[in-house]
Amino acid sequence: MTSLTPQNAQLDHIDDHGAEHGAEHPDHRMFGLAAFLVADAMTFAGFFAAYLTFKAVNPLMPGAIYELELPLPTLNTILLLVSSATFHRAGVNLRRQNNERCRLWLMLTAGLGLAFLASQMVEYFTLPFGLTDNLYASTFYALTGFHGLHVTLGTLMILIVWWQCRTPSGRVSASNHFPLEAAELYWHFVDGIWVILFVILYLL
Amino acid sequence: MTITAPQKTAPASPSLQPTGWLRYLSFSVDHKVIGLQYLVCGFAFYLIGGAMAGAIRTELLSPVSDFMARDVYNQILTLHGTVMIFLWIVPVVNGAFGNYLIPFYVGARDMAYPRLNAVAFWLIPPAGLMLISSYFITGAAQSGWTAYPPLSITTPATGQIIWILSVLLLGGSSIFGGINFIATILKLRRPGLKLMQLPMYCWAMLGTSILVVLSTPVLAGTLIMLSFDIVAHTGFFNPGMGGNVVVYQHLFWFYSHPAVYIMVLPAFGLVSEILPVHCRKPLFGYTTMVYSIMAIVVLGLVVWAHHMFTSGTPPWMRLFFTIATAFIAVPTGIKFFNWLATLWGGRISLNSAVLFSCGFIVNFVLGGITGVALAQVPFDVHVHDTYFVVAHFHYIVYGGSVFVIFASIYHWYPKIIGRMLDEHLGRLHFLLTFVGFNLCFAPQHWLGLNGMPRRVAEYDPQFELVNQISSAGALLMAISTLPFLWNVIASAFFGAIAGDNPWRALTPEWLTSSPPPVENWKGDPPLVTHPYGYGTPADEIDLNSASGSDLWRSGK
């Protein structure tokens, strides 16, 4: 038995219409998020397709530098993969009503996300080319930048969830764990995109 | 889990949602209000886009550029295409009728995500106003609705950036709407209602929404890259910097070819709703209709390069995309013959809705035939970028989608408003539209075959007479709007009272009052398992039955 705040009630779509018909719908929010992530994946697919086509048909202009070092992005890949696991641990602990541990794992996940972003910035500043230097440079920054934007948003979401589950009766709790699960699905998605991006940009 | 929020006990709904006409200007979450918002907003943009079309046809009365300057012509042309596609047809065939009808058809009280639905609508007016106001502030985009680089990179940047921003907003609105439709159709069906019992419009909207969710994001990504080229001087699509313009075309048409189906598949669905009611016959070939829609969805995603046969496309690509495009004629032909078979032997009441639907069938077949012709490389390389293409796609989007929008308004106006439209004015509207439309666009086939390029304000003097005939048709189309406007406004006040079910239809939206109450039904939603169970004598249909399936059974 949990008493929800009015805001939570609004999230559940129950007060949209007259109260007499306000029977609770089944929760389809996760389905909607998944559909949105399919759309988001298609945006990335467009970028990837553009990059691969450029690579196949457009030769690098004479004198242009486009060399990528592997160590830092490999570290980034490990950071994100580990963060997916830590996020999963946070969800498990929330469902066990162990909010303290959940928050610990969330903070660790957010820390890994921030470490990823910092490491990405270090890479940006040490690369021998800039945004407008050549076609590959532009595509590299567009792809990693768009992905970095996703990581930034994801980290913000984690911090919001972290704040909202500070007490067992908070807005995010064992009985209302949708926000955490939504952020988790999104985070796994962003990780998955990074793995594809890592293969296409750095390894191919 | 019990909800003990204060809203539950307080009369939350009236305070949150205005009930009078003001709710149409509010952030309402009622799917019927949002549907009407889409419809009226879309029609306002149709009038604006139509005025631009009038300006274009006026300019083309004479071979020289005398009515407006050339760059103004380019701006008007770009705005006309963008407004008509992104602000009129896509929002109306998807957003307006989808929002109004889909919850009824699945037996739900609203869409799956009512707030997202309202957000999706309210992205449209600001985006549209921003787009049109760019004309008055700095000059609108000049590179056509396709915004091909390098043209879009070299024309004035401000208008192009505003164009990109507003198309991104409209694309976002479209994606939110698409997610909502998919979730509503798949997840919100009334218990006991199977997928293969849904009215055909649900299938059309499911297919359309899949296309929206899969292809619109690609356009968004492409336009972001284009805006980088314009603002940050990257070189994605700039050949001078090693970029590749053809990649833009591929990505653009990956959205914009499915966009044709996003505009026309819902129209297919709407016609499939209208014809059985007024012919008193079941929809012919329900199952093949469903599979045809899904085949068009799949094929529609893999035919985009038939827009690019003159862009240095390699031979294997030409071959593949020609064959794939020709294949689309098969499911489309199945649907066409199914409509004819639905009409065949029916007791057709030839009212305005049916007239517009039949007009759609005629126009769409003509547009479809030229479409198959354009997919053939040997033919396409000669007429590419000529008025033949203009004629072809206007036969699809105007002769197809817009005719269906009018048919749908004649069909559902009694439900939405509760009063009947005037039939005489409706038939006059159809006559003017049909004659005007064909007079305007049929001659453009000839113009294109004889080599008149599209998108240009000036042309060879030998084409003057045919252009003037075409402009006369455009004038008729403009005039045809007047009886329609008078009809929809006057009938709202003076029309005959429609009653709940003036067409004696069996689909669920007619099994409630006109206009329907908030939450669609007093009591439980009906279970309609045979939405097209017509064919019983009128006096045997028990209109007081509790549900559509009862109607169907008692009819037997």
**Averaged pLDDT, B394-403:** 96
- Specify whether the CB–CB gap between A182 and A33 falls below 8 A: yes
Which positions in chain A touch B215 (Cβ < 8 Å)? 42
Query: Is B254 an 8 Å CB contact of chain A?
Result: yes
- Specify whether the CB–CB gap between B444 and B387 falls below 8 A: yes
Residue B17's pLDDT band, with cuts at 50, 70 and 90, is low
- How far, in Å, CA of B404 to CA of B433, rounded? 12
For residue B13, the model assigns a pLDDT of 45
For residue A24, the model assigns a pLDDT of 56
Residue A171's pLDDT band, with cuts at 50, 70 and 90, is confident
Residue B424 backbone dihedrals phi, psi, to 5 degrees: -65, -45
- How far, in Å, CA of B107 to CA of B105, rounded? 5
Q: Cβ separation of B179 and A32 shorter than 8 Å? A: yes
- Specify whether the CB–CB gap between B218 and B250 falls below 8 A: no
* Single pTM value for the model: 0.90
For residue B518, give the nearest of A17, A50, A175 by CB distance.
A17
More confident site: B548 or B212: B212
pLDDT reading at A9 higher than 60: no
Query: Is A3 an 8 Å CB contact of chain B?
Result: yes
Which positions in chain B touch A32 (Cβ < 8 Å)? 112-113, 116, 179-180, 183
Q: What percent of chain B has pLDDT over 70?
A: 93
Which positions in chain B touch A50 (Cβ < 8 Å)? 222, 225, 236, 247, 251
Q: Cβ separation of A15 and B250 shorter than 8 Å? A: no
**Averaged pLDDT, B288-311:** 94
Give per-residue pLDDT as tens, A119-152.
999 999 999 888 888 888 899 999 999 999 999 9
**Residue A104: helix, strand or coil by DSSP?**
helix
Q: Cβ separation of A2 and B16 shorter than 8 Å? A: no
Query: Is A149 an 8 Å CB contact of chain B?
Result: no
More confident site: A172 or A50: A50
For residue B221, give the nearest of A21, A46, A60 by CB distance.
A46
- Specify whether the CB–CB gap between B170 and B110 falls below 8 A: no
Residue that has been written with the tokens 């699509």 in this structure: B237
Q: Which long-range contacts (CB under 8 A, 24 or more apart) does B153-161 make?
A: B153/B226, B153/B229, B153/B230, B153/B237, B153/B238, B155/B74, B157/B230, B157/B231, B158/B134, B159/B75, B159/B134, B159/B135, B160/B230, B161/B227, B161/B230, B161/B231
Query: Is B15 an 8 Å CB contact of chain A?
Result: no
- How far, in Å, CA of B502 to CA of B515, rounded? 12
Residue of chain A whose alpha carbon sits nearest to that of B233: A132
A52 min Cα distance to partner chain B (Å): 10
CB pairs under 8 A between A and B: 160
- Specify whether the CB–CB gap between B526 and B547 falls below 8 A: yes
Residue B404's pLDDT band, with cuts at 50, 70 and 90, is very high
Query: Is B326 an 8 Å CB contact of chain A?
Result: no
Query: Is A126 an 8 Å CB contact of chain B?
Result: no
B250 min Cα distance to partner chain A (Å): 9
Give the residue among B106, B203, B187 at the shortest CA–CA distance from B521. Answer: B106
Residue B538's pLDDT band, with cuts at 50, 70 and 90, is low
Three-state helix/strand/coil letters over B357-369:
HHHHHHHHHHHHH
pLDDT reading at B551 higher than 70: no
Q: Cβ separation of B217 and A47 shorter than 8 Å? A: no
Three-state helix/strand/coil letters over B120-168:
HHHCHHHHHHHHHHHHHHCCCCCCCCCCCCCHHHHCCHHHHHHHHHHHH
Q: Mean pLDDT in chain B? A: 91
Give per-residue pLDDT as tens, A48-95.
999 999 988 888 877 777 788 889 999 999 999 999 999 999 999 998
Residue of chain A whose alpha carbon sits nearest to that of B523: A21
Residue that has been written with the tokens 């998605």 in this structure: A189
For residue A169, the model assigns a pLDDT of 82
Query: Is B116 an 8 Å CB contact of chain A?
Result: yes
Give per-residue pLDDT as tens, B495-511.
999 989 999 999 999 99
- How far, in Å, CA of B323 to CA of A136, rounded? 34
For residue B236, give the nearest of A21, A28, A139 by CB distance.
A139
Give per-residue pLDDT as tens, B154-186.
999 999 999 999 999 999 999 999 999 999 999
- How far, in Å, CA of A109 to CA of A187, rounded? 10
Q: How far is C-alpha B338 from the chain's CA centre?
A: 21
- Specify whether the CB–CB gap between A192 and A186 falls below 8 A: no
B195 min Cα distance to partner chain A (Å): 18
